[in-house]
Amino acid sequence: MDAIRNEIRRLRFEHGEMTQQELAEKIGLTRQTVNAIEQGKYSPSLEAAFRIAAVFGEPLESVFHYSPE
Amino acid sequence: MSFREKTAWISLLSMSGIYGLYFWSVIHAGHQAGAFHFGGLLETIIALVLVQVVLTVALAIFSPREAKAPRDERDKLIELRAMRVAYSGLATSVAMACFFGAFDPPIVFNTNALLFILVTAEILRAACQIIQYRRGA
């Protein structure tokens, strides 16, 4: 799980300090799931990852990074 | 704590407590019961349904938005993983019950043993869900 990192926290901050709940509602997930994704404890499905990237208007690779160890 | 995790806690605690009392009474009745105590089981099931419904409704009243929200992909994944663990436990226990059943125990043992296996699998499922929610999974 740690191999996939993300920039969600920073992007939320840059987008008007969007809360996890607001992001969750936009992408159809629960706040707890957004929190788990943000902390790298849960890797979202490809569809959810695309939805998150779309909310921030960023390409997928700008939001999620894969770094094999 | 999410709504789904809270409902898993309700399931775990109510089943452990109520079925715990039932099996305690079965063990203490011993051979005096003579046969499968259907009345006791019926009371247990009614009590379990009542407790779970009342607690879940109370939970939904206090957090209506979360209660209305459908399960998301992580909830479903957690449920599937918990089901897999519970099924493994159930299958193993049933196989063991079949093996010991070959030694011709009284029917009261068989029925309660199978019920115990079923309840244990359900408790295991709820426990696995809680563990995964706690870990963030």
ipTM of the complex: 0.81
Residue B107 binned pLDDT confidence (cut-offs 50, 70, 90): low
User: How many domains are there within chain B?
Assistant: 1
Note the pLDDT of residue B98: 78
Report yes or no on A65 lying in a domain.
no
- Which of the residues A20, A30, A35 would you substitute to probe the B interface, choosing the one with the greatest number of B C-beta atoms within 10 Å? A30
In this prediction the pTM is: 0.81
- Sign for the pseudo-dihedral over CA of B9, B12, B15, B21: negative
Range of the domain at B30: 3-135
CA distance A20 to A38: 9
Take residue A20 and report the two structure tokens written for it.
Answer: 């996890």
Q: pLDDT digits over B33-58, tens only?
A: 545 667 788 889 999 999 999 999 99
What DSSP element (H or E) covers B137? none
Provide the 10 A C-beta neighbour count for residue A42.
24
Alpha-carbon torsion A17, A21, A27, A33, what sign? positive
**Domain contains A66:** no
Q: Which residues of B touch A31 (CB under 8 A)?
A: 2
- Please give the pLDDT value at position B34: 46
Instruction: Give domain status of residue A68, yes or no.
Output: no
Residue A55 lies in a domain: yes
Summarize the confidence of residues B118-133 as an average pLDDT.
95
Structural domain for A31, as ranges: 4-60
Domain count for chain A, please give it: 1
Say which CATH number the domain at A56 has.
1.10.260.40
Residue A4 β-bridge partners = A66
Q: Return the minimum-mean-pLDDT range out of A65-69, B21-25, B29-33, B43-47.
A: B29-33
Q: What is the pLDDT of residue B121?
A: 95
- Assigned domain for A67 exists: no
Does pLDDT of B28 surpass 90? no
Least confident of B35-39, B79-83, B87-91: B35-39
Integer CA distances (angstroms), B85 to A33, B14, B22, B98, in order = 22, 20, 25, 20
Say if B65 is an interface residue toward chain A (CB within 8 Å).
Answer: no
- pLDDT-derived band at B112 (thresholds 50, 70, 90) equals confident
